[in-house]
Chain A
Amino acid sequence: MDYGLSEEQITLRDLARRIAEERILPVRAELDETEEFPWAIMKDLADSDMFRVFIPEEYDGLGGGCFELCVVVEELSRACGGVAVCYAASALGASAILLFGSEEQKQKYLPDIADGKRLAAFGLTEPTAGSDAGGIRTTAEKVSGGYLLNGTKQFITNGGEAEIYTIIALTDKAKGARGASALIVEKDTPGFTFGKKEKKMGIRTSATRELIFRDCLVPEENLISKEGAGFPMTMRVLDKSRPGIGAQAVGIAQGALDAAVDYTSQRIQFGHPIISLPVVQDKLADMATQIEAARLLVHGVARTVDSGAKNITAEASMAKVFASDVAMKVTVDAVQVCGGAGYMRDYPLEKMMRDAKITQIYEGSNEVLRNTIAVGLRKRKARRE
């Protein structure tokens, strides 16, 4: 398939693939088992300039966009969806600064993120606010010298490992979602601590923690954009990050298909490799077809994002929903065609199946995103009338 990649994008893909094969593949099972954060791989990614990919050149980046990020995330996910999300979450954490930050904020934080010196993270979800982002309770009270943060963020990817956090908190409780604002909070700010590392079904090498704020004073200059801009800003950030989750899902699915083709080619039953059985071929053919369709949708939406198009919420949601559903189906089928070997932890497939599940859940559950897509359809219909 010709994906229309430029020479630079092919170089990027090939290098990301090489990192995945040489540095991630040999340790992915161990990382899954120990649940340790993949710092050595983050260093490799930094040394190879991978964190520069999504940062503009004026802040020491290479000036790529959503598409380039998706290319890297897919390749890393092919080996390990957990490692890939540690990388992608830094891009998500940088996104609000990149899109809405002041020149000073960009100068201060983006070069370090591009360099891979510091990881970033994005803190929205709370015990009372998941799909209903309007339910956040963390407050940022204006005091002399800045904002006093109080509250708890939950299930934050890269929590505890990242050093730069974009936090959504209420600067005006009375206004609800319209009173939400985005603040940059650095690790080691007094009053900012972390909860325990969550034990997860999949992507176990990635860190997911609570962020706890108790009278945490954040300087006024760390407010991104203006008070009350937090919620629409979050929607824009997520519109741009969802294709990345789609790419993660495509990578996981591709990794599962590769493993399934390998195994079914070697596994002899009734005197033949089981890949010669029509029932296995049917499954593999459907898997391959769905993966191509998902990849092309992710590519198409990522390119649309990079073109600067507005109102891409529905399309971004489609890329994430479709690719993640494909990843789940493909990994389940891959386990099935590999039988007992698919189920065993000495083989990579059961991990891929566990890793795939999160892609249907985070960055907007597929249920809430389907709702978003449907709302978009109704709006379009209404506009025509």
Chain B
Amino acid sequence: MNIIVCLKQVPGTTDVKIDPETNTLRREGIENVVNPFDTYALEEGIRLRERFGGKVTAISMGPPQAEGMLREAISCGADEAILISDRAFAGSDTLATSYTLSCAVNKIGDYDLVICGRQTIDGDTGQVGPELSEALGLPFVAYVSKINELADGKMTLERMVEDGHEVIETPLPAVITVVKEINVPRLPSLRGITRAKRAEIPVWTSGDLEVDDGRIGLTGSATWVVEIFFPQRIHRGEMLEGDPDGQVDALIEKLRELKIA
């Protein structure tokens, strides 16, 4: 069973600043981590390989420094990793991203399953997984919490829905997104770290992927970020001043005015 796992590098903090010029995240000086939801995708890929054999290929579309994250994926058990990186991909929205990823998945070929995290913690859209399945023309199951069986080119899995779990059977190849309930991701191993240090991580550019230039980067994006702002605080509390007795009197007066008391 050959598995492709999609990973994204995200800022390792919620304390990010927005660049007012471009309305995008300021990533300088911020430590990057693997998108936490993607770590469950990687772990599930490794577990499936341990159960059924095959190999796990980790891919990421991002800047050159995402290579470090891919090495960590190898140190945790991925067999190989590919970085999809090109200035032409900059500014991609989820549509352009999923198109680009689909080109990479097709170039890898010979796969049975693509696993993504349910969403990223920076963009938070949850769109890349489903859009990727669309671009590949494959079945898609979101929010997978358990993989039960795999036989005869079909997979049975459970997905989380609001009021319980659905058991779903899908033919393979397929694309799934996973939730954190599916497993506890392992840490790197010492032998994995040694392997990761030596691993060659190919970088695939737009030329390598033979993409349609109109469908990548900003040009290929159907959405643009026009403005990013903090929501206005509409309800404001009022602080009462003065000594405790005075504050109590003022509070009672307010409640009377509002006809609450």
Question: CB within 8 Å of B: which residues of A?
Answer: 11-12, 15, 18-19, 22-23, 44, 47-50, 52-53, 62
Is B218 close to A, CB under 8 A?
no
Pairwise interchain contact B190-A47, C-beta atoms closer than 8 A: no
B248 on the A face (CB < 8 A): no
Chain B, 82-121, contact with A by CB distance < 8 Å: what is the 0/1 string? 0000000000000000000000000000000000000000
Does more than half of chain A's interface fall in helix, strand or loop, or is it mixed?
A: helix
Nearest CB of B to A221, in Å: 31
**Contact flags B58-96 to A (C-beta < 8 A → 1, else 0):** 000000000000000000000000000000000000000
Bound complex: CA of A18 vs CA of B188, how far in Å? Answer: 10
Which has the most chain A C-beta neighbours within 10 Å: B190, B192, B193?
B190
Residue numbers in A under 8 Å from B191 (CB-CB)? 49, 52, 62
Q: Does B22 contact A (CB under 8 A)?
A: no
Sorted from nearest, which 8 A-B pairs have the closest CB atoms? Answer: A49-B190, A49-B189, A48-B189, A47-B186, A49-B191, A48-B187, A11-B193, A19-B187
Contact of A50 among B186, B190, B192 (CB under 8 A): B190
> Please, could you name 29 A-B residue pairs with CB atoms under 8 Å apart, sorted by A?
A11-B190, A11-B193, A12-B190, A15-B187, A15-B188, A15-B190, A15-B193, A18-B187, A19-B187, A23-B187, A44-B186, A44-B187, A47-B186, A47-B187, A47-B189, A48-B186, A48-B187, A48-B188, A48-B189, A48-B190, A49-B190, A49-B191, A49-B192, A50-B190, A52-B190, A52-B191, A53-B190, A62-B190, A62-B191
* A40 nearest CB neighbor, chain B only: B184
Chain B interface size, under 10 / 10 to 19 / 20 to 34 / 35 or more: under 10
Q: How far is the CA of A143 from the CA of B190 in the complex (A)?
A: 45
Residues of B within 8 A of A52 (CB): 190-191
Q: Output the nearest chain B residue to A12 by Cβ-Cβ distance.
A: B190
Chain A residues lying within 8 Å of B192, measured Cβ to Cβ, are 49
Shortest Cβ distance from residue A173 to the other chain B in the assembled complex, whole angstroms: 45
Distance in Å: Cβ of B15 to nearest Cβ of chain A: 20
- Which residue, of A12, A18, A48, has the highest number of chain B Cβ atoms within 10 A? A48
B186 (CB) vs chain A CBs: closest residue: A47
Q: Closest chain B residue to A14 by CB distance?
A: B193
CB under 8 Å from chain A, chain B span 154-195: 186-193
Q: Give the docked Cα–Cα distance between A50 and B190 (Å).
A: 8
B17 to chain A, nearest CB (A): 27
Across the interface, which residues of B come within 8 angstroms of A53, CB to CB?
A: 190
Shortest distance between the CB of B193 and any CB in chain A (Å): 6
A48 to B192, CA, bound (A): 8
Closest residue to B191 on the A side, CB-wise? A49
With a cutoff of 8 Å between Cβ atoms, the chain A residues found around residue B190 in the complex are 11-12, 15, 48-50, 52-53, 62
Roughly how many angstroms separate A19 CA and B190 CA in the complex, as a whole number? 12
Bound Cα distance from A53 to B187, whole angstroms: 16
Q: In whole Å, how far is B99's beta carbon from the nearest beta carbon of chain A? A: 36
Residue on B nearest A7 in the bound complex, by CB:
B197
Other than the known A15-B193, A49-B190, what 4 A-B pairs have Cβ atoms closer than 8 Å?
A: A11-B193, A12-B190, A48-B188, A50-B190
Query: In the docked arrangement, what's the CA distance between A11 and B189, Å?
Result: 10
Q: Which residues of B contact A18 (CB under 8 A)?
A: 187
